[in-house]
Structure 1
Amino acid sequence: MRRTLSSIIAGALIASSLALAATPATAATGRLVSATALHTYATRADVDAALTADQFDPGTDRYGVRTYRLIYRTTDATGRPTTASGLVALPINNRKTLRTVSFGHGTSIYKLDAPSTSDDVFLIGPALTFASAGFAAVAPDYLGLGVGPGPHPWMDVPSETTASLDLLRAARVFAAQQGRQLDREVYASGFSQGASAALGLARALQSGADPWFRAAAVAPISGAYDFRTAEIPALFTPEVHPLLASAYTTYLLAAFDRLHDIYPDPADVFAPPYVNLPALFDGTHPGQEIIPALPPTIDDLLTPAGKALLLHPTGRFAAALAEVDSVCTDWTPRIPVRLYYSPGDEEAVNANTAHCHATLGAPTVNVGVNTTYNGFIHEGSEVLSLPRVTRWFTDLNR
């Protein structure tokens, strides 16, 4: 069952495991702690069946795929040692050296709705697609999701970047245990929240953050790249689905206050009876529990001070939003970049992509609209973009 925010709202509105050899756990970032075999899709037809069952295009499939959950050492959003988990998918073929795709998933509010802990094809479909096309695919759960400890620091680009980079390092060790090697070239992609994570990872790799891996290309899909002047103002308009506006606003304020202390008390920004709503966004409550607790509109959710905080951020909140938006403003890519989007996106509004196009100078790719996928254009954009991104990465890899 699909577990993204919009899919849960849509519903409201209308393996065997094998423990593998692991390196000893230490505080070193990227150190592999454990690996667990998840699923084997023995043939291309098996992958095709899994993808088409959830409307994904199998046209780039070539090989069967094996998937694994890795647990690895990384750092949390304050720089302290912690662990995180992620999915690794390897093609079943004879190639010993594999180029790698890192794919960042979209927003999840429940810990187990993550690539390495879910059978939801919307979450694992990207990794299956890239691996079946011949890449090694890695999909970080991010901090606090999957089997990682603590709450998830939503939209914290620095920790998304370190979690993604450290999973690459752990995956390189794991691949060597399987008699394979990950090439230096990393192709980064991601959807929604993961679009920012992909840009953050590509920026870090281009700057030399790792002595082995380097950025090859980046293809973000339907990201919220301009929170300050595009996404947040749109939350107060009909452009964003009203219940989703309430959900994303609560998640944003709860996560940023947890990390950056942006308001003295929830009662200052959340109107009664929603003062305790942020407590539900700690990763332990499934969406089916959260959605009924949401107000129907953002105006019902916030006090006047809460609305002012969002529309006119200052201090720590403004600095944190600037960090989110920096993925499209503070670097000049020396690698190929394409920005994929669907017109009329009711979650990550199109002004975000227009902003990133203007600041990075990257071309945009309009993939059209698929409203049959759960009734939301936003989710449909991942389904439409994925085969195009896979073909582009494959062409670049020739």
Structure 2
Amino acid sequence: MYLCNFSNFLNSCFKYNLLIVLLFLQVVISSQYLVSCNFLNSASASVLGPPTGLVLDYDVDMYKMTYNTVDTKGLPIIATGAFFIPTNTTCKNFPFAVYNHGTTLRKDNVPSFNNTESIIGKIFAAGGYFVCMPDYIGMGDSPGLHPYVHSESEATASVDMVRAAREYLTNNTNYIDNSEVFLTGYSQGGHACMATHKYIQDNNLSAEFNILGSAPCSGPYDLSGIMADTIISPSPYSNPGYIVYLLASYQLAYGNIFNSWSEILYSPYDTIVPPFFNGNNTTLDMSLLNSLIPNDMRLLIRDTSMNNFINDSINKNHPWWLALLENDNYDWLPTSPIRMYYCTEDEQIAYTNALNANQAMNNNGALDVQALDMGNVNHGDCVLPALSAAFNWFQSLKTPCNLSSSIELNNSDIRIYPNPFNQKVAIDSREIMDIQIISLDGKIMYSSKSTNETIFKTSDWEKGLYIFKIQSKNDVHTSIMIKN
């Protein structure tokens, strides 16, 4: 009898503990991406527009966003970024644009700290976009060293920030995501833009991230080809710090690039370099690093390491080759349009990266990929023409706010938008309305009496068709809307 009672006790404990575990897992699975979103400042379209020559319609609010993502090992980590919302408008439904920033060594020289590059986010937002500018993991308030030009972590930092931003819009504002997504970025951000696009497609996330256009600018897409040639070449390179950053990054990500700096770098550079990559650097920048190390790779990288790398240039089994190959993103088949903007006098990132990617993608059967020459200027001077071209291209593709796939019901002042919808639906009317929304299996999803603008959440609805039945004073209006 005692044995039976003890057995029952164990069984009860097991069931109780199992319940606790299942509840814990449920919390983890349903955990949000958004951690916090805090207002930083505002900007006026009248100030942002004239220096760029772009037509900008909206003022902008800027926020610092903290969100959950994963590191290079797939483990949870926080990341930060800048988030921008168009203001001073009756329009509420906009597309998302993601801008990936260029190379920086300082953790505080990032968009969420309102650095110089953050103005690009303000400009795009003033054109009518919700803009995400991820700092990347290991930058901003994210702990540790940044995995520089590491495709997967660049991509996850981008897509998880959009997810966090959607949560913020849904739970804290009356704004509506119109389900269109645009990607761009400059320099390292060009690589991150391409990596994000490829990641979304490779992981079947296109329904969640409907990419209408992707515009990587002046990025290193062909790492195992063109960037490897930069390491091997006897010609001086203007930014040797990029190469050292790459080695530090891939050691973080893969753990087999070197055992110590002295193993791969000549003295005194093996002692000069480490403070730049300690994971807490907020004072030492790339221009300083470039001034302290030689721009001839043969004077920086030890002969043994360089020769081992060069001698394996056919088989490419050396850890350095494997890391470069893993982070190539030029040779694939995109199903969404791409425009790669470049300049032919770029001294930092060879414009042939764009030409190689353009040739490879079109050879693979891409239907809408182009590499476009923005002129005979250097890396810094290419920013304005490249990003202006990207902005204007996006403007030609997006659904304008006042036409955003809405349904205007005949002979009435009632408008339903967006269509298709995702997280929210808005119904505008000057009349008192009885609203009823019914799924195709007859379930009433929403029922209310309202006037003026009604916005309600639909994030937990199943994908499919829904019947919107709206009764005004003199008529009954019925329409069918699509939930993505």
TM-score normalised by the chain length of structure 1: 0.83
* Distance change (3 Å), C-alpha of 1:27 and 1:310: farther
Q: Which residue of 1 aligns with 2:374?
A: 367
Q: Which residue of 2 aligns with 1:272?
A: 267
Segment drifting more, 169-178 vs 257-266: 257-266
Asked if the contact 1:60–1:387 (Cα under 8 Å) also holds between the matched residues in 2, the reply is no
Q: Which residue of 2 aligns with 1:10?
A: none
1:162 partner SS? helix
Q: Which of structures 1 and 2 has the bigger CA Rg? A: 2
Deviation at 1:63, TM superposition (A): 1.4
Q: Which residue of 1 aligns with 2:307?
A: 308
Tell me the distance in 1 between the aligned counterparts of 2:284 and 2:55. 33
Deviation at 1:239, TM superposition (A): 6.9
- Give the AA of the match of 2:347: E
**1:183 and 2:178 are equivalent in the alignment:** yes
Tell me the distance in 1 between the aligned counterparts of 2:224 and 2:318. 13
Deviation at 1:45, TM superposition (A): 1.3
**1:396 and 2:392 are equivalent in the alignment:** no
Q: Which residue of 2 aligns with 1:87?
A: 82
- Give the AA of the match of 1:341: Y
Query: Match for 1:223 among 195, 219, 225?
Result: 219
Tell me the distance in 2 between the aligned counterparts of 1:347 and 1:364. 18
Asked if the contact 1:30–1:167 (Cα under 8 Å) also holds between the matched residues in 2, the reply is no
Q: Which has the higher strand share?
A: 2
Deviation at 1:230, TM superposition (A): 0.8
Alignment of 1:281-296 (within 5 A): 281-283=277-279, 284=281, 285-287=283-285, 290-296=289-295
Query: Match for 1:69 among 64, 75, 92?
Result: 64
Deviation at 1:249, TM superposition (A): 1.4
* Distance change (3 Å), C-alpha of 1:157 and 1:132: same
Tell me the distance in 2 between the aligned counterparts of 1:301 and 1:166. 37
Segment drifting more, 316-325 vs 203-212: 203-212
Tell me the distance in 2 between the aligned counterparts of 1:36 and 1:143. 19
Q: Which residue of 2 aligns with 1:255?
A: 249
- Give the AA of the match of 1:346: E
- Give the AA of the match of 2:299: D
- Give the AA of the match of 2:326: E
Asked if the contact 1:87–1:139 (Cα under 8 Å) also holds between the matched residues in 2, the reply is yes
Deviation at 1:114, TM superposition (A): 0.9
Deviation at 1:60, TM superposition (A): 3.0
- Give the AA of the match of 1:110: R
What 5-or-longer segments of structure 1 have no aligned partner? 1-24, 371-376
- Give the AA of the match of 1:70: M
Deviation at 1:235, TM superposition (A): 4.5
Asked if the contact 1:89–1:136 (Cα under 8 Å) also holds between the matched residues in 2, the reply is yes
2:169 partner SS? helix
Tell me the distance in 1 between the aligned counterparts of 2:185 and 2:388. 13
* Distance change (3 Å), C-alpha of 1:378 and 1:386: same
Alignment of 1:328-339 (within 5 A): 328-329=330-331, 331-339=332-340
Deviation at 1:192, TM superposition (A): 1.2
**1:194 and 2:197 are equivalent in the alignment:** no
Tell me the distance in 2 between the aligned counterparts of 1:383 and 1:33. 33
* Distance change (3 Å), C-alpha of 1:26 and 1:90: farther
Asked if the contact 1:39–1:66 (Cα under 8 Å) also holds between the matched residues in 2, the reply is yes
Tell me the distance in 2 between the aligned counterparts of 1:45 and 1:163. 32
Work out the number of aligned pairs and report it: 355
What 5-or-longer segments of structure 2 have no aligned partner? 1-26, 363-368, 400-484
1:247 partner SS? helix
Alignment of 1:56-135 (within 5 A): 57-92=52-87, 93-120=89-116, 123-135=117-129
Deviation at 1:30, TM superposition (A): 6.0
Asked if the contact 1:184–1:214 (Cα under 8 Å) also holds between the matched residues in 2, the reply is yes
* Distance change (3 Å), C-alpha of 1:183 and 1:277: farther
- Give the AA of the match of 1:38: L
Deviation at 1:286, TM superposition (A): 2.0
Tell me the distance in 1 between the aligned counterparts of 2:302 and 2:321. 19
Q: Which residue of 2 aligns with 1:351?
A: 352
**1:321 and 2:315 are equivalent in the alignment:** no
Identity %: 26
Deviation at 1:209, TM superposition (A): 2.6
1:224 partner SS? coil
- Give the AA of the match of 1:89: F
Tell me the distance in 2 between the aligned counterparts of 1:166 and 1:210. 14
Q: Which residue of 2 aligns with 1:382?
A: 383
Q: Which residue of 1 aligns with 2:138?
A: 144
Tell me the distance in 1 between the aligned counterparts of 2:242 and 2:306. 14
* Distance change (3 Å), C-alpha of 1:225 and 1:218: same
Q: Which residue of 1 aligns with 2:230?
A: 234
Segment drifting more, 291-300 vs 154-163: 291-300
- Give the AA of the match of 1:84: A
**1:35 and 2:37 are equivalent in the alignment:** yes
CA shift digits 1:182-238 (9 cap, x unpaired): 222211111111112111222233342365322221111011111122122134558
Q: Which has the higher helix share?
A: 1
- Give the AA of the match of 2:344: P
Tell me the distance in 1 between the aligned counterparts of 2:236 and 2:133. 27
Tell me the distance in 2 between the aligned counterparts of 1:213 and 1:235. 36
1:165 partner SS? helix
Tell me the distance in 2 between the aligned counterparts of 1:191 and 1:307. 29
Deviation at 1:87, TM superposition (A): 0.9
1:111 partner SS? coil
Asked if the contact 2:86–2:126 (Cα under 8 Å) also holds between the matched residues in 1, the reply is yes
TM-score normalised by the chain length of structure 2: 0.69
Asked if the contact 1:142–1:163 (Cα under 8 Å) also holds between the matched residues in 2, the reply is yes
CA shift digits 1:358-389 (9 cap, x unpaired): 1112211111144xxxxxx1122222111111
